[in-house]
A = this chain, B = another copy of it.
Amino acid sequence: MSDLLERLRGRGWRMTAQRRVVAEVLDGDHVHLTADEVHSRAVVKLPEISRATVYNTLGELVSLGEVLEVATDKRAKRYDPNAHRPHHHLVCAQCGAIKDVHPGGNPLADLPDSERFGFTVSDVEVTYRGVCPNCAATTTTA
């Protein structure tokens, strides 16, 4: 993640304790936190950080292309630091757990011209849904 901070400084980003903390919270694999989750975790490290700053910083990271917005459920947006490797998502329908996945195939090629309604199609987003091992175990035991 210091990679990220270096790159941002290079882009003229003013480095502040708040921004550092947000970047730290977003470190890791399969991380897809809501803005409020980012805020809760940031508060542990920097008690006075405000909600507005978290939203601002996430918004900037998104515009800079360093973080992705993901909308897997129909509630809050989630923020995904894995922006440099294209991927899709696998979501547990019960607990909401989200994994990054890299399916084979080319879904764009699977959309015939007759199904394009004259659109210029540039992008496709795939969301797999199922039940995670954890939830499966809990349900069968109960």
Contacts and interface: CB of A to CB of B under 8 A. Distances in A.
A90 B69 contact: no
Interface in A99-142: 99, 101-105, 107-112, 115-133, 136
A107 B103 contact: yes
Interface residue tally on A, bucketed by range? 35 or more
23 contacts: A74-B77, A90-B115, A90-B121, A99-B119, A101-B111, A103-B115, A104-B112, A105-B107, A107-B107, A107-B110, A117-B132, A118-B133, A119-B130, A119-B131, A119-B133, A120-B130, A120-B131, A122-B130, A124-B128, A124-B129, A125-B127, A125-B128, A126-B127
Interface of A: 69, 71, 73-74, 77, 90, 92-93, 99, 101-105, 107-112, 115-133, 136
